[in-house]
Amino acid sequence: MCDRHGPDECVVALDVGGTGMKGALLDRDLRPMYTVRRPTPRSAGPEAVVSAITATLEELSRQARSSGLTVRRAGVVVPGIVDERTSRAIWSGNIGWRDLPLADLLEARSGLPVTLGHDVRAGGIAECALGAARGARDILFVAIGTGVSAALISDGHLVVGGGFAGELGHLIVEPQGTHCVCGARGCLETVASATAIATAYTARSARAVDGASDVAALLLDGDGDALAIWQRAAEGLATALFIATTMFGPELIVLGGGLAEAGDLLLEPTRAHLAERLTFQRPPRVVRAGLGDEAGCVGAGVYAWQAVCGTASILPPQLPRAQVPPA
């Protein structure tokens, strides 16, 4: 355990998604002492997003001071391709930045030391430490929200691949399908992300919905268009999970992100379609994330405390280590 901290110390944790940001002050046991949620202004461009991140870090820092707490560090996790060794946000199709020295920018603007990480790898680490993946060693954590991405833990080790591992959302599941922001067609993200489900329902039914949760509610009401869109999403997700299962042999697949809040409405058809595709592969259990949509924020806190301690001891020894340098 790390003993280089006092009882009135905390870290700032911030999970930046394509739609919203989730922030918290977390104590050494990763318990939230204060939380905030803010929209991500991605339609206004990358600079507006950086400004919104800075403002949220400053808000959390002010709250810590007013509560008599000392902030040791900030952990910020973002989507896309992230090089944690150089603290750069390499690419994000949903937000639009390219090769951005994000940690340096945030440190200069907020005055806080910042550890940068990948949102879904952080979520996977959090699920291993506190959520549905405790005790497992071969895990695929899949976050489904504005986009789709995954974290792979193999034999207890987090697979980073220079920041490029885990882009499950860009596996092609419909070869002649919709154009994706990445430049390909028919990526999983164009079929099974929360954004894609809402867009597809509106196009099919000519009835606008605010998001995938509306489609889920319509499905429960027996709406035929909602059923078709939801079935397509579950089949696409199962196809991608089949490929990942064949390649990496996870014993456990944890579905997180906003869409997983649908629970069995998503889990049951995905499990069924995946089972239909498996032959010789080890059948993985498919479960809902234990931390819900808070996993990325908790994982950001893990990154920050690891950097404070200069060690990976925030996690039990059998669990994966985040790939971040010591502070």
Q: What is the mean pLDDT of each run of 10 residues along the chain (327 residues)?
A: 69 94 94 95 94 98 96 95 92 90 97 96 93 94 94 92 92 95 95 96 95 96 97 98 97 94 95 98 97 92 91 46 38
Strands (E), 197-312: 252-256, 285-288
Locate 256 and state its tokens.
């997180």
Q: What is the pLDDT of residue 148?
A: 95
Asked if residue 298 and residue 284 are part of one domain, the reply reads no
Q: What is the pLDDT of residue 163?
A: 87
Residue 326 belongs to a domain? no
Q: What is the pLDDT of residue 185?
A: 96
Residue 48 belongs to a domain? yes
Residue 4 belongs to a domain? no
Asked if residue 183 and residue 168 are part of one domain, the reply reads yes
C-alpha 160/C-alpha 166 separation (Å) is: 8
**Residue 154 structural domain:** 135-288
Asked if residue 145 and residue 102 are part of one domain, the reply reads no
Asked if residue 143 and residue 113 are part of one domain, the reply reads no
Asked if residue 211 and residue 106 are part of one domain, the reply reads no
C-alpha 116/C-alpha 106 separation (Å) is: 10
Residue 141 belongs to a domain? yes
Beta strand pairing call for 81-83 and 20-26: unpaired
Claim: this prediction has a pTM higher than 0.75: yes
Asked if residue 139 and residue 284 are part of one domain, the reply reads yes
Residue 189 belongs to a domain? yes
Domain CATH for 218: 3.30.420.40
Asked if residue 147 and residue 107 are part of one domain, the reply reads no
Residue 75 belongs to a domain? yes
> Considering its fold, how many domains does the chain have in total?
2
Asked if residue 283 and residue 148 are part of one domain, the reply reads yes
Asked if residue 192 and residue 99 are part of one domain, the reply reads no
C-alpha 139/C-alpha 251 separation (Å) is: 6
